[in-house]
Amino acid sequence: MTAEILGRGRARVEGPAKVTGAAKYAADLHPSGLAYGYLVLATVGRGTVTAVDAEAALASPGVLAVYSPFNPLKLYGGIVHSDQSFLGQNWLPLQDAEVRHHGQIVGLVVADTFEQARRGAALVRVVYDARPPVADFAAALPNAVSPGPINGEPDVLDLLAPGVPSIEAALAAAPVRAGGTYTQPPKNPVPLEPHATVAVWDQAGLTLHLGTQAAMPSALTVAAALGQDPARVRVLSEHVGGGFGGKLYTWAHPLLTAAAAQALGRPVKTVITHEQMFSVTGNRTPVHQTVELGASADGALQAVKHEAVSGLSTSGLIFEQAAHTTSRYLYKAPNIHVAQKVAMLDAPPSTWMRAPGEEPGSFALESAMDELAAKLNLDPVELRLRNYSTVVPGRGVPWSSKHLDECYRLGAARFGWNRRAQRPGSVREGDWLIGYGMASAAYPGNQFPYTMAKVRLRADGGAEVSSATADLGTGMRTVLSSVVAERLGLPGERVAAVLGDSVLPMNYGAFASAGTASTATAARAAASAAVAQLVQVAVQNAASPFHGLDPKDVVYAEGRLTGPGGLDAAFGELLTRIDVSGVEAQDGSAPPPDARNFAVHSFGAHFCEVRVHAWTSEVRLRRFTSVIDAGRIVNERTARSQIAGGLVFGIGQALFEGSVMEPASGRTANANLAEYLIPVNADVPVFDIQFLSHPDTNFNEFGARGIGELGTVGSAAAIANALFNATGRRVRDLPVTVDKLFG
């Protein structure tokens, strides 16, 4: 009955709620007495607010309040530099008059209806003393600076063979060299659900409905900024309409919304617009990379040099660590040099976005590997196999489990890679040029420390598992329900999963592809603890038929307790009989493996076929094969969707996505879904996604590694390499738009 609940494709447990409109997202809440907030954003890229005229706004129908740097809501700045902070930027809104980037918050208008608030915001007149922003990434490159250590290693890291004086010397000695400069624009995670906040105060404190990947860290951050006892702030995020990194950190508008609700004595809802999302919430930084590879004539890498400069907002916090997350370890080479710098920009906050670091890094490295294969006249798969790493360069430790070679071989066979023409531009079907490309993918197997879960066995015979994580569409509810159902020997539908609430057992949240490794292992441990607790209650309760027995003689299996002399009771019957509503226990995830013994990554290989129109250069993707090595797959259906969704992020990276920042003003010129293009249905090819099944028990008892970001790693390079194979044109500047292929 339950043996195969894991692995196969159990349907998403909250599916029916989501197809009927019953599932509630933050913006769907409508407490009585609700007022609406609308943000006023800066229209200059740098400078100072010298005056705010709110008179017309305050006289406008329905407007309740206009907050600005000159009529601020008090926030406490200690949170900005706190270790506990999940604040997504390094300043708090309205606490000073400085404008740090175009589109930053300079005001909040609250009114009885949304349209009245929007109208009020349009009437607020803000006067600036403007200064020119540093908003031109290319012009800022020469001023790039050291960001300090990356993942505990120097920002300029040389792993050189004995006697080799420099990476330049190693490159100079290599008979074959390839590489180039690879560039890409800033991007926004663009979850479909705009960031929404509904703040409700009562005697118990603040309840904040917030679309977030991290309910508990959000609650701590909001509490600190508002000067509240953390016990008085509860964050609820029952359903989240996608995140992709953009809803990991707490942004400025929930803080203002909560403070305004307190000041006005009314619940306040602030839903930012998609346009505002580009400047009020975080972005992926632009990246400029150079990769140089040196190899012997047989394709053995002699030197790998990868230098990256990423933008970094002066508002903070995150930059793309492109070289250290890719060329640092992906291939075996006697000489490796990786370096990272940051170019400071007066831009909206920079943040984590799906596969941060690996997304740009893999595009550069895996494009360069394709260029090297072309120079060597060697099959790109064969080149990668010849440089396969089995231990981490410079550290000598093996991977906990690595089957990337099998990904290459199986992927090539499934795809029909042997039909690829080595000579670019040589395959044509009518007016279409056909090309094949491939690339590798690797993403760290992350696991959070101190993740807790609780399992409750109820008198009605069902069970409940809870933890303060989120389900952004990842399938976490389904995974938790399935994992606990398997451990308890119950049908999946008897195990409810509760998450999206900061008061549940400790959990950092849903990010870094760490959800299954962290929360599912904690849930499994909690289920075992709950069974032990059940046995204790059974032998201690005087009304129990198991009373007085040694706990060792009571056995739990498939939802029943059995004991000597034919004692047998389903746990629900037992609890009912002894008049106990339920038993519960908490437990935590095991600590992650010692990094001194193993490196942990998920791996994959992507293969893709493109068509390019010979006369118009229109690009169409025809098919994708991805073979994934991510340990044990807990639910193949939701896992598959995670990979497919990740591949579509790679398609966006390769062909469509990029914020266009006006250099003079720092304004994002295409901050809307009409002009910031993401792939639509008709842009997406057929996916052939295959999972290897090598449980990684060196990583955790479960054998499961993360998959949420892996599909995004390398997929853009596979497309760019296929475009080269189709046309003979190597495009190193993303996205690859028609003009770059034309002529």
Which residues lie closer than 8 Å to 680 by C-beta, 6 or more apart?
A: none
Its sign, for the CA torsion 576, 577, 581, 582, is negative
Q: Which of residues 573-592 bind other proteins (CB under 8 A)?
A: none
Residue in 318, 647, 722, 736 binding other proteins, rule: CB under 8 A: 647
Q: Does position 361 bind other proteins by CB under 8 A?
A: no
Looking at 80, 122, 503, 644, which residue binds other proteins (CB under 8 A)?
644
Distance CA 410, CA 416 (A): 10
Q: Are 608 and 719 in contact (CB under 8 A)?
A: yes
11 binds other proteins (CB under 8 A): yes
Cα distances from 497 to residues 27, 317, 490, 638, in angstroms, run 22, 33, 14, 16
Collapse the DSSP code of 274 into the 3-class scheme (helix H, G, I; strand E, B; otherwise coil) and give the result.
helix
Q: Does 7 bind other proteins (CB under 8 A)?
A: no
Residue 625's DSSP bridge partners are 607, 688
Sign, CA dihedral 264-266-267-268, equals negative
The residue count for the chain: 743
> Which residues lie across from 435 on neighbouring strands?
610
Instruction: Kindly state the smallest distance separating residue 30's Cβ from other proteins, in Å.
Output: 7
* Residue pointed to by tokens 């100079």: 172
Q: What ranges in 124-214 are assigned the alpha helix state H?
A: 137-140, 167-173
Q: Check residue 187 for interaction with other proteins (CB under 8 A).
A: no
Tell how strand 196-202 and strand 287-295 pair up.
Answer: unpaired
Interface stretch with other proteins, choices 289-297, 416-424, 431-439, 675-683 (CB under 8 A): 675-683
Where do the H-state alpha helices sit in 434-514? 476-488
CB of 435 to other proteins, least distance (A): 21
| Among 237, 367, 638, 725, interactor with other proteins by CB under 8 A | 638
Region near other proteins per CB under 8 A, out of 110-118, 126-134, 461-469, 593-601: 110-118
Cβ contacts of residue 484 below 8 Å, gap of 6+?
Answer: 455, 463, 465, 490, 495, 497, 523, 524, 526, 527
Residue choice 113, 146, 390, 422 for contact with other proteins (CB under 8 A): 113
CB of 623 to other proteins, least distance (A): 11
Q: Is 193 in the site for other proteins (CB under 8 A)?
A: yes
**CB 211, min distance to other proteins, A:** 9
The answer to the question of residue 539 lying near other proteins (CB under 8 A) is: no
Rounded to the nearest whole angstrom, what is the least distance from the CB of residue 279 to other proteins in the complex?
16
| Amino acid at residue number 84 | Q
Return the closest-CA partner of residue 141 out of 286, 317, 33: 286
Q: How far apart are the first and last CA of the chain?
A: 62
Q: Assign 456 to helix, strand or coil.
A: strand
CB of 275 vs other proteins, minimal distance in Å? 9
Lay out the site mask for other proteins across 18-57 (x = CB under 8 A, - = otherwise): xxxxxxxx-xx-x---------------------------
Binding range to other proteins, per CB under 8 A, among 136-144, 256-264, 368-376, 645-653: 645-653
Q: Name the 3-class secondary structure at 212.
A: coil
Residue (12 or 384) nearer to other proteins, CB: 12
Catalytic position from the list 307, 609, 657, 709: 709
Q: Map the footprint of other proteins across residues 423-462, applying CB under 8 A.
A: none
718 binds other proteins (CB under 8 A): no
User: Is position 709 annotated as part of the catalytic site?
Assistant: yes
Q: Which residues of 689-702 are buried (b: 16+ CB within 10 A; e: fewer)?
A: bbbbebbbebbbeb
* CA 245 from centre of chain: 4
Measured between alpha carbons, how far is 99 from 565 in angstroms, rounded to an integer? 78
Nearer to other proteins, 244 or 607 (CB): 244
691 binds other proteins (CB under 8 A): no
List 45, 103, 194, 706, residue binding other proteins (CB under 8 A): 194
Q: State the Cα–Cα distance between residues 484 and 271, nearest whole angstrom.
A: 36
Q: How far is the CB of 382 from other proteins (least distance, A)?
A: 29
Q: How distant is the alpha carbon of residue 550 from its chain centre?
A: 48
122 lies in the binding site for other proteins (CB under 8 A) = no
Interaction mask 210-239, other proteins, x per CB under 8 A: -----------------------------x
Task: Pick one of 291, 323, 472, 630: the residue that binds other proteins (CB under 8 A).
Answer: 472
> Of the two residues 307 and 471, which places its CB atom closer to other proteins in the complex?
471
Which residues lie closer than 8 Å to 527 by C-beta, 6 or more apart?
455, 463, 465, 483, 484, 487, 488
Give 281's Cβ-side CA count (13 Å radius): 32
CB of residue 478 to other proteins, shortest distance in Å: 10
Closest to other proteins by CB, 24 or 613: 24
Least Å from the CB of residue 711 to other proteins:
8
CB 67 within 8 A of CB 260: yes
* Nearest-approach distance from CB 271 to other proteins, in angstroms: 7
How far is Cα 182 from Cα 191, in angstroms, rounded to an integer? 26
User: 191, 286, 349, 658: which one contacts other proteins (CB under 8 A)?
Assistant: 191
Structure tokens at 458: 């109820």
Stretch that binds other proteins, among 67-75, 131-139, 567-575, 642-650 (CB under 8 A): 642-650
Q: How many residues bind other proteins (CB under 8 A)?
A: 57
Q: Which of residues 597-626 bind other proteins (CB under 8 A)?
A: none
Quick one: which of 186, 267, 475, 706 contacts other proteins (CB under 8 A)?
Answer: 475
Any idea what the Cα angle at residue 530 is, between residues 527 and 533, rounded to 5°?
155
Least distance from other proteins to the Cβ atom of residue 679, Å: 8
Binding residues for other proteins (CB under 8 A): 9, 11-12, 14-16, 18-25, 27-28, 30, 113-115, 190-194, 239-242, 244, 271, 273-274, 472-475, 637-638, 640-641, 643-648, 672-674, 678, 680-682, 684, 686-687
As annotated, the active-site residues are 709
